[in-house]
Structure 1
Amino acid sequence: MTRRTTGRTAGAPDAGAPTRRRFLAAAAVSAAAVPLAAACGRAAGGGAERTGTLRYQGWTGQVTLPELAEDLGYLGGVRLEWVGNTASGPQDVQSAATGQVAFGGAFNGASVKLQESGAPLTSVIGYYGTDAKNYTGFFVLEGSPIRGPRDLVGKKIGMNTLGGHSQAVLDLYLRRNGLSAGDVAKVEALAVPPVSLEQSLRQGQIDVAALTGIFQDKAIAAGGVRRVFRDYDFLGAFTAGSYVFRDDFIERNPDTVRAFTAGVAKAIEWSRTAPREEVVARQMKILAARGRNESPDALKYWKSWGVAGRGGLMTDREFATWSGWLKDAGQIREVKVRPRDLYTNEFNPCANGGGPR
């Protein structure tokens, strides 16, 4: 399939391939039918009727942004159909690539790797990231001798999935601190379910736990752990993961993708402005109502989605960083796909007069 050139904000000039022009023509019809406000706050409501059901995978004990957007009434006529829980971000986007679900969400590096291999996917909106409140931290027990990068050689590092955000951050941290490829190879990354990471650390099954979000805050609140480093320290604020759709799904269903993207964008901005207690209470209500026998305890530690761009807008940097890492780590032979060909902001109403927050 001819890959579209989609990494520019709406309205930017582009001399793309024929597939791209057909796609833009369809999107233009959609935009004419559904006027979008310059600010993303009202974009998900009103306009032409939107229909469609999006099959997706969820996460145990967590509420995703699409689930929040649906509960807030921001998805318009689009409905979500939960088909089960995913084991990891890479597995989720792989399911989207094979058509098992309509969309998937993962660390951008995992999506880049799939797209570099020819998977016909496009990222449409960022949904999680790193900021001062929400980051990936690598924690040890308080009495651990591990203090810096060289202390990690020969140690076991637990993380939610291999090939995802935590492993990429760990690898970058080690390489940027001068460790040789041989030493980096001696740092053992182990996949541990997020809900079990803290327990595995405290029981001595792993030496370091890569903790994020509510699981990190829960561990800190319990005490007895110490952070060695975090991605925010050397990468700053950035959107780390995005939702992807297959290209053929986007071309067939531009209205549905637009409604989904606008709804998630609005949910992101609602979460920024609503009192934190209200955001937490809303997530707890959603978790209880779906009746999947999950504990809501970790949700009370929610602070931020960590999304850098307003309404989930994405930038080249958030993909180029991981393209370069994949090549340096030997996971791809060369970078063949330009960052701007991996994602699009065209469905995001915040692109019209928006910009990074």
Structure 2
Amino acid sequence: MRPRHFRRRELLALTGLTTLAAATTAAGCGRASGREGVPADTIRYQGWAGTVTPAELAEDLGYLDGLSLKWVGNTTSGPQDIQAAAAGDTDFGGAFNGAVVKMAAAKAPVKAVISYYGVDKERFSGFYVRENSPIRTARDLIGRKVAMNTLGAHAEAMLDTYLKREGLSIEEADQVERIALPPVNTEQSLRKGHIDVAVLGDILRDKALEHGGLRALTDDHRLLGTFSAGTYVMADRYLEQHPRQARAFVTGVGRALDWSRRTPRDEVVDRMVRIVRRRDRSEDTAPLRYWRSYGVADPVGRIAPDELSLWVRWLERRGDIKADRVYIPDIYTNRFNTNRLDKAPVPTPARDRSGS
């Protein structure tokens, strides 16, 4: 019998697929066209508190070619965000590519249209333990608790990759307990000994390291190099009915991503702070001072097929999707991204995924 926590993971995966199937049914019944009263050049979306997304940056830079964004609230997670897009409650949503693949396996009528976040030497999540922890290797994680923001998503994929790379069998990896914790509580839980390992990224990572007393086991960038990890998706029906708006949106986001790469970091951060203050949602701008990069690997956010196929293999190994359930060319498209590729050079993504 598998450990109790692994059965819980399977239940979460099944629940996620059920939710995606419900979103698929809703979209198929016409909810993806639920834009009554919404002007054609208005794009509805969900945001993140205290964060400026590439889409929001693109609008502020004037790159959306006459489109305007309409904020309908903040999302609770990537999977929820893309489910909202599939159901027609918003016009685009973004999530970890593994969640996008899972949605494709559930036959939701959506397509990934542009990468919007990733991992590079500036933007990554790490697996941290207390300085005096006896945990030194992947094998030391057997029987230990690893806390992350969401099960079955980016952090757990990185954990599975690390354990496999370090030679743990499936049975041994199953004995590493995965715990879902709100990111703002994770550092404190680690320091109090309630968990053994904390997955920390961006501002939470930097602030935790400033406090001292922690060390890293590994991180995303050490494991897989530079790669795009998440994409924006749009419902097929939206793409069919509003191709001009889709092109303007995707192309504008791609331009904004490249602007953020070639512009001095302080200038990018200052602009983000102004954006957050202008939208007046009672948000703290302090976290923006820790912004370093969106981490997108390819120029203008173009999607590379191996950034999706990597997670197909991972989900198949976990048993979350059946083999041959998804066909990669059906999951994504770059045709709405009309940006030229002869722009300023960007970091070359690491394409060796053989150990994942």
So what's the TM-score if we normalise by structure 2?
Answer: 0.82
**1:268 Cα offset (Å):** 0.5
**1:352 Cα offset (Å):** 5.3
**1:336 Cα offset (Å):** 2.6
**Aligned-partner SS, 2:171:** helix
Q: What is the CA–CA distance in structure 2 between the aligned matches of 1:135 and 1:330, rounded to whole Å?
A: 27
Aligned residue for 1:75? 64
Instruction: Give a deviation string over 1:285-313, Cα, whole Å, max 9, x none.
Output: 22222222222222111111110000111
**Aligned-partner SS, 1:74:** coil
Query: Do 1:324 and 1:335's aligned partners in 2 also have CA atoms closer than 8 Å?
Result: no
Query: Do 2:40 and 2:242's aligned partners in 1 also have CA atoms closer than 8 Å?
Result: no
Aligned residue for 1:85? 74
In the alignment, structure 1 segments of 5+ residues that lack a partner are 1-49
Query: Do 1:69 and 1:267's aligned partners in 2 also have CA atoms closer than 8 Å?
Result: yes
Instruction: Give a deviation string over 1:144-176, Cα, whole Å, max 9, x none.
Output: 221111111222212121121111111121123
Aligned residue for 2:234? 245
**Aligned-partner SS, 1:279:** helix
**1:322 Cα offset (Å):** 0.3
**1:326 Cα offset (Å):** 0.5
Instruction: Give a deviation string over 1:312-355, Cα, whole Å, max 9, x none.
Output: 11111100100011001111121332222211111112355579
Is 1:277 the counterpart of 2:266? The answer is yes
Aligned residue for 2:284? 295
Is 1:169 the counterpart of 2:158? The answer is yes
Question: 1:213/1:103 Cα in 2 relative to 1: closer, same or farther (>3 Å)?
Answer: same
Letter in 2 for 1:193: P
Q: What is the CA–CA distance in structure 2 between the aligned matches of 1:157 and 1:81, rounded to whole Å?
A: 37
Q: Which moved more, 1:264-273 or 1:209-218?
A: 209-218
**1:51 Cα offset (Å):** 4.7
Aligned residue for 2:219? 230
**Aligned-partner SS, 1:109:** helix
Aligned residue for 1:318? 307
Query: Do 1:218 and 1:298's aligned partners in 2 also have CA atoms closer than 8 Å?
Result: no
Instruction: Give a deviation string over 1:180-211, Cα, whole Å, max 9, x none.
Output: 22222222222222333323323333221112
Aligned residue for 2:110? 121
So what's the TM-score if we normalise by structure 1?
Answer: 0.82
Identity level (%) = 50
Query: Do 2:161 and 2:223's aligned partners in 1 also have CA atoms closer than 8 Å?
Result: no
Aligned residue for 1:200? 189
Q: What is the CA–CA distance in structure 2 between the aligned matches of 1:60 and 1:200, rounded to whole Å?
A: 22
Q: Which moved more, 1:237-246 or 1:192-201?
A: 192-201
Aligned residue for 1:350? 339
Is 1:286 the counterpart of 2:272? The answer is no
Letter in 1 for 2:53: T
**Aligned-partner SS, 2:104:** helix
Q: What is the CA–CA distance in structure 2 between the aligned matches of 1:208 and 1:350, rounded to whole Å?
A: 41
Q: Which moved more, 1:120-129 or 1:81-90?
A: 81-90
Structure number with higher relative contact order (C-alpha < 8 Å, ≥ 6 residues apart):
1
Q: What is the CA–CA distance in structure 2 between the aligned matches of 1:111 and 1:356, rounded to whole Å?
A: 25
Query: Do 2:86 and 2:109's aligned partners in 1 also have CA atoms closer than 8 Å?
Result: yes
Instruction: Give a deviation string over 1:264-290, Cα, whole Å, max 9, x none.
Output: 111111111111001111111222222
Question: 1:223/1:349 Cα in 2 relative to 1: closer, same or farther (>3 Å)?
Answer: farther
Letter in 2 for 1:263: G
Question: 1:61/1:202 Cα in 2 relative to 1: closer, same or farther (>3 Å)?
Answer: farther
Instruction: Give a deviation string over 1:228-259, Cα, whole Å, max 9, x none.
Output: 10122221211000000011111101111111
**Aligned-partner SS, 1:350:** coil
Q: What is the CA–CA distance in structure 2 between the aligned matches of 1:109 and 1:158, rounded to whole Å?
A: 19
Query: Do 1:139 and 1:227's aligned partners in 2 also have CA atoms closer than 8 Å?
Result: yes
Query: Do 1:88 and 1:160's aligned partners in 2 also have CA atoms closer than 8 Å?
Result: no
Question: What is the root-mean-square deviation of aligned Cα atoms in Å?
Answer: 1.8
Question: 1:211/1:335 Cα in 2 relative to 1: closer, same or farther (>3 Å)?
Answer: farther
Q: What is the CA–CA distance in structure 2 between the aligned matches of 1:196 and 1:53, rounded to whole Å?
A: 36
Q: What is the CA–CA distance in structure 2 between the aligned matches of 1:309 and 1:164, rounded to whole Å?
A: 22
Q: Which moved more, 1:295-304 or 1:175-184?
A: 175-184
Q: What is the CA–CA distance in structure 1 between the aligned matches of 2:221 and 2:284, rounded to whole Å?
A: 29
**Aligned-partner SS, 2:161:** helix
Query: Do 2:299 and 2:341's aligned partners in 1 also have CA atoms closer than 8 Å?
Result: no
